Chain A
Amino acid sequence: MELTGAQILLECLKREGVEVLFGYPGGAVIDIYDELPRHPLKHILVRHEQGAVHAADGFARASGKVGVCLVTSGPGATNAVTGIATAYMDSIPLVAITGQVPTPLIGNDAFQEVDIVGITRPCTKHNYLVKDVRDLALTIRRAFYLARSGRPGPVLVDLPKDVLQTRTPFIWPDDEAIKMRSYNPTSKPNKRQLQKVAELVKNAKQPVFYAGGGVVSANASDDLTWLARRLHMPVTATLMGLGCFPADDPLWLGMLGMHGTYAANRAIQDSDLIIAAGARFDDRVTGKIAEFAPKAKLVHIDIDPTSIQKNVLVHVPIVADVKHALADLRSIIEHEMTDFDFVSVHEPWVKHTLEWELEHPIKYVPAKRGEPVKPQYVVEKIYELTKGEAIIATEVGQNQMWTAQFFGFQRPRTFLSSGGLGTMGYGFPAAIGAQMAFPDKLVIDIAGDGSIQMNIQELATAVCYNLPVKIVILNNGYLGMVRQWQELFYKKNYCATCMDAQPDFVKLAEAYGAAGFRVTRTRDVEKVLKEAFATPKPVIVDVRVAPEENVYPMVPAGKSLGEMLLV
């Protein structure tokens, strides 16, 4: 059967199990759009290509499937770059399809031409320019294989217009065909190394699990939870790892790092054994690297060998899929250490960490009568009202940190946030993607007034497709996180962080056909949130919060985890 490139592309997407495509058309991809109505794929027309990529990314994070987006050449492709880099930093499986000028024009500065393969080389797991339609099907299959296997990541496929128009027999490449001799990610852990880990835990007095986004993406939360409980080991997680261990478990220490809890950071600094799983010792987590966990032996489990020994010296490196590694460790503990009483050995330590939690819990000074609403209170209320049964996206800044601190994430894939790149404007389109994956779940974007304006145009998308995403703006009138740094480290020189001339967010919501609410008093927060959550369409809740509230605790950049500023 002879098909055009455009038809082959859509056929491949269908066979890869793609249900939804986030995109924005243009001349270079018009042939694909011409075919779309004849395919079962659902296409979501966003309002900016960055939105398409973040939406695909949010869809992927929430569902565990590969997210797919489609944009045109030139400006469409460059608009997608921030989204691609965001997914790359957080290892999110994504296939980004870009249009390209016809092959004879490539390199001629043709209209809407850009070397997107060159531009995205450092921020994709891999990328392709397809020059011959006969390579198309295999390339698409490989793109999906690369995106989802090993350490997941975004893969870009650039498709010249003439390739999309040329006909060729369609052959679906089998699993054998997509194999590459140059790509063989390790997934099985070394058993002897795991035996070592089991021994180390047995001998450790003060062990801690340090879990990262890899636990979430490998779907290893159950094994982690089982192990922590059986080994009686406290658990802390990175921002990306939130939800991989239930926040209501007594072994949960909270997040670690710059805005982590006192208990988590103290536990890390005092521990004699750290088992890091799917985490990469980011500088936001370790603080001053030379003083990180001085007494601890480090075990590091990661699918990506480059993550191991990059920032810290590791005693037991384990290159493996976190899922396989934790499951195998579990089976060693389950079968070979049945009699060992981990609870009594580690109980004094666990007690100790509980005392730290009581000593310095995550807290804030509640608003007195007549004072503006505290942003932390809003997050607490959202948690209470949803009982953690919601998918929460965030923007970047204080809103993100307060969400991490005050929302008790119970399950993986319920927290969507740009961790590695810290992309303002990520949360709302990501929430749209998550809502596409789970139409019946409550999806909330907790936003700052600065960040939300970076992709606010996607309100039209949410309205258009009846995606009832809730945006709760913690509106402090500032680029809060930067203002906090200016306050603490730059003598309150609030240069360029005051958001003057803000739009009326309620009217803006209404202008788009969404619903808008405003809250200015603490006592109205609960009522309005309830109403917003019950409204079956996209909603903005504009909460005016205390303008100069800060995120605490805080480890100043470059200091060690032991040097926290408390409230």
Chain B
Amino acid sequence: MNDKRHVLSILVENEPGVLSRVAGLFSGRGFNIESLNVGPTLDKGVSVMTITTVGDDVIIEQIVKQLRKLVMTIKVVDLTEHKSVEREMVLIKVNAEDSRRAEILRIVDIFRCKVVDVSPDELTVEATGDQGKIKAIINMLTRFGVKEIARTGTVALKRSLQD
């Protein structure tokens, strides 16, 4: 199978139950959700969901069609078919004894992340970026001992200039 990661951007009517309808569609049909993100748009009545999922072409086609079929869905775009900007944010709480603190701060700097909380033996780092960057920073910090992690899941938009 040619399983590929797809980022779907779904515009839905902002009505009660719409999130569980979308999520239920995935679970009920045995599709997988890797991450799911919901937020309002400029139009008050409309929310945008960003869902990353994995599957071969046939499965993705079926997912997109099933999403479109939901009565509350206004639009579904598979961003993988377009040039798009993807971002995820992650908060990482990492062990930071005095002896290793400088090293951690250097890494934070290289990745252009921010330290958002400090204690005598811990640092909490905020990182934003695409999947690759998030993976890399987590990797880099793992060896210091990551205590906790919280990720938002991917949000994405189509790039403006496309031909």
Give the B-binding residues of A (Cβ under 8 A).
Answer: 117-118, 121-122, 125-126, 129, 146, 180-183, 304-306, 309-310
Nearest residue, chain A, Cβ from B68: A305
Which of A122, A125, A129, A304 is close to B24, meaning CB atoms less than 8 Å apart? Answer: A122
Q: Which of A181, A183, A306, A309 has the most CB of B within 10 A?
A: A306
Is A182's CB under 8 angstroms from B69's CB? no
Query: Would you give the shortest CB distance from B116 to chain A, in whole angstroms?
Result: 36
Check: B58 CB closer than 8 A to any chain A CB.
Answer: yes
- Using A121-B20, A180-B71 as known contacts, say yes or no to A310 and B13 having CB atoms under 8 A apart: no
Chain B residue numbers with a CB within 8 Å of A180 are 13, 71
Report how many A-B pairs have Cβ atoms within 8 Å: 38
Residues from chain B with a CB closer than 8 A to the CB of A181 are 13, 74
Taking CB atoms, residues of chain B closer than 8 Å to A304 are 69
Chain A residues with Cβ under 8 A from B13's Cβ?
A: 180-182
Instruction: Give complex CA distance A122, B72 in Å.
Output: 14
**Residue B158, interface by CB 8 Å:** no
10 smallest A-B Cβ distances: which pairs?
A126-B71, A306-B65, A182-B74, A305-B65, A122-B28, A183-B71, A182-B13, A306-B66, A306-B69, A182-B72
Q: Is the CB of B72 within 8 A of A309?
A: no
**Secondary structure class of chain A's binding surface, majority of residues:** mixed
Q: Is B21 part of the contact surface with A, judged by Cβ < 8 Å?
A: yes
Cβ contact of A118, chosen from B20, B65, B71, cutoff 8 A = B20
Is B61's beta carbon under 8 Å from chain A?
yes
How far does the Cβ of B29 sit from chain A's closest Cβ, in whole Å?
Answer: 9
Give Cα A565 to B62, complex, Å.
34
A198 to B36, CA, bound (A): 45
Measured CB to CB, the closest approach of chain A to B21, in angstroms, equals 6
B16 at the interface (CB under 8 A from A): yes
Asked if B120 is at the interface (CB within 8 A of a chain A CB), the reply is: no
Which residues of the other chain, A, contact B20 by a CB distance below 8 angstroms?
A: 118, 121
Cβ < 8 Å to A, chain B residues 49-105? 58, 61-62, 65-66, 68-69, 71-74
B39 CB contacts on chain A under 8 angstroms: none
| Structural contact, B71 and A146, CB atoms closer than 8 A | yes
Residue of A nearest to B16 (CB): A129
Query: Chain B residues near A118 (CB, 8 Å)?
Result: 17, 20
CA distance A129 to B15 in the complex (A): 11
Chain B residues near A122 (CB-CB < 8 A):
24, 28
Report how far A126 CA is from B70 CA in the complex, Å: 8
Contacts of A129 in B (CB 8 A): 16-17
Asked if A309 and B17 make an inter-chain contact with CB atoms under 8 angstroms apart, the answer reads: no
Contacting pair B62 A306 (CB below 8 A): yes
| B23 nearest CB across to chain A (Å) | 10
Of B13, B17, B24, B58, the most chain A CB neighbours within 10 A belong to B17
Inter-subunit contact A121/B24 (CB<8 Å): yes
In whole angstroms, how far apart are the Cα atoms of A304 and B13 in the complex?
21
**14 cross-chain CB contacts under 8 A:** A121-B20, A125-B71, A126-B71, A129-B17, A146-B71, A182-B13, A182-B71, A182-B72, A182-B73, A305-B68, A309-B58, A309-B61, A309-B62, A310-B62
- Nearest residue (CB) in A for B27 is A122
**Contact between B69 and A305, CB atoms less than 8 A apart:** yes
How many whole Å from A556's CB to the nearest CB in chain B? 25
Provide the residues of chain B in CB contact with A146, threshold 8 Å: 71
B48 to chain A: which residues have CB within 8 Å?
none
- Determine the residue in chain B with the shortest Cβ distance to A309: B61
Contacting residues, chain A, for B72 (C-beta < 8 A)? 126, 182
In the assembled complex, which residues on chain A have CB atoms less than 8 Å from the CB atom of B28? 122
B123 at the interface (CB under 8 A from A): no
Report the minimum CB–CB distance from A513 to chain B (whole Å). 44
List, in ascending order, chain A residues with CB within 8 A of B127's CB: none
Alpha-carbon separation in the docked complex, A183 to B73 (Å): 7
List chain A residues, Cβ under 8 A from B62. 306, 309-310
User: Hey, which chain A residues are within 8 Å of B65, CB to CB?
Assistant: 305-306
Per the bound structure, the CA–CA distance linking A35 and B61 in Å amounts to 48
Query: Complex formed: what's the CA distance from A146 to B72 in Å?
Result: 12
- Give chain A nearest CB distance to B20 CB in angstroms: 7
Q: How close is B19's CB to chain A, nearest CB, in angstroms?
A: 11
B8 contacts A by Cβ under 8 Å: no
Contact of B156 with A by CB under 8 A? no
Q: Is B137's beta carbon under 8 Å from chain A?
A: no
A117–B66 CA distance with the chains assembled, in angstroms: 19
Is B12 close to A, CB under 8 A? yes
With known contacts A309-B58, A309-B61, A310-B62, A117–B17 Cβ distance under 8 A: yes
Closest residue to B74 on the A side, CB-wise? A182
Q: Which residue among B12, B28, B71, B72 has the maximum number of chain A CB atoms within 10 Å of its CB?
A: B71
Q: Which residues of A are found within 8 Å of B74, using beta-carbon distances?
A: 181-182
Q: Which residues of A contact B16 (CB under 8 A)?
A: 129
Bound-complex Cα distance A204 to B74 (A): 40
Q: How distant is B68 from chain A, measured CB to nearest CB, in Å?
A: 7
- In the complex, residue of chain A having the shortest beta-carbon distance to the beta carbon of B69: A306
Alpha-carbon distance A468/B24, docked complex (angstroms) = 43
Minimum C-beta distance from A131 to chain B (A):
8
Chain B residue with Cβ nearest A313: B58
Q: How far is it, in angstroms, between the C-alpha of A310 and the C-alpha of B16 when the chains are bound?
A: 29
CB-based nearest A residue for B25? A122
Q: How far is the CB of A148 from chain B (nearest CB, A)?
A: 14
Q: Output the nearest chain A residue to B61 by Cβ-Cβ distance.
A: A309
Give chain B nearest CB distance to A119 CB in angstroms: 11
Which of the listed residues B58, B65, B66, B74 has the most CB atoms from chain A within 10 Å of its own CB? Answer: B65
Q: Are B12 and A121 within 8 A (Cβ)?
A: no
What residue of chain B has the Cβ atom nearest to residue A155's Cβ?
A: B71
The docked-state distance in angstroms from the alpha carbon of A310 to that of B29 is 12
Which residues from B are CB-within-8-Å of A117? 17
Which residues on A sit within 8 Å (CB–CB) of B68?
A: 305
Residue of B nearest to A131 (CB): B16
Chain A residues whose C-beta falls within 8 Å of the C-beta of B69 in the assembled complex: 304-306
In the complex, which residues of chain A have a beta carbon less than 8 angstroms from the beta carbon of B24? Answer: 121-122
| 10 further interface pairs, Cβ-Cβ under 8 Å (given A122-B28, A146-B71, A304-B69) | A118-B17, A121-B17, A121-B21, A122-B24, A126-B72, A182-B12, A182-B74, A183-B71, A306-B62, A306-B66
Contacts of B61 in A (CB 8 A): 309
Q: Which residue of A lies closest to B58 (CB)?
A: A309
What CA separation (Å) do A310 and B60 show in the bound complex?
11
Within the complex, what minimum Cβ distance (angstroms) separates B91 from chain A?
31
CA distance in complex: A146, B20 (Å): 20
Chain B residue nearest to A319 in the complex (CB): B65
Task: State the CA gap A122–B17 with chains docked (Å).
Answer: 12
- Max count, chain B CB within 10 A of own CB: residue among A146, A182, A304: A182
